[in-house]
Amino acid sequence: MSVTAETHEELSVEQALKILDGVIDNWSGKEGSLIPVLQSAQNLLGYLPDEVLIHVSEKLNIPLSQVTGVVSFYSWFSTVPRGKHIVRVCLGTACYVRGGQDVLGALKKTLGIDVGETTEDRTFSLEIGRCFGACGLAPVVMIDDNTHQRVKPSKVKDLLTPYAEDAVDEKGGEA
């Protein structure tokens, strides 16, 4: 089984740990092995639960404090389940002044979650950013790698619809 971002919906933590042992064996003893092993683990499950962090620490013989330090330092890593689509609202100065806070409020209301949380169906996770380098297009929302410019709170639902439909289609349901 290949290690892909989509794998996490199919595996239990126990199954992921068995696969991860093979990844760890490939990296064991090599300099700089921690980050690639953590990336593989996150690709398997979609996040890094405590059991995985402890397992990686023990298998690589790296202190747990070092493993958790790396996980907390890099924003790509998450210790809580994340949604299929990551919604990031820019709250840098230009976006904030041009209504980024209102857009964030509309997203919270529409998704029914707060910043740092994931919808129950694991379709969306909501995060904030401080600058996406698109200040002239403010306020800006990024969904995955797609930048949406001059977002209005009243249009947030329309913005999310194609992503929600995509998640339903992949699960074999009706759009």
Residue-wise pLDDT tens digits, 145-168:
899 999 999 999 999 999 998 766
d(C-alpha 120, C-alpha 77), whole Å: 20
The predicted pLDDT at position 174 comes to 47
- Give the model's pLDDT for residue 80: 85
- Exposure of 17 in the CB half-sphere (CA atoms within 13 A): 14
Length of the chain: 175
pLDDT tens profile 78-130:
898 888 899 999 999 999 999 999 999 999 999 999 998 999 998 999 999 88
Question: For position 74, what pLDDT does the model report?
Answer: 85
**Cα 76 from Cα 46, distance rounded (Å):** 11
Residue 34 has pLDDT above 50, yes or no: yes
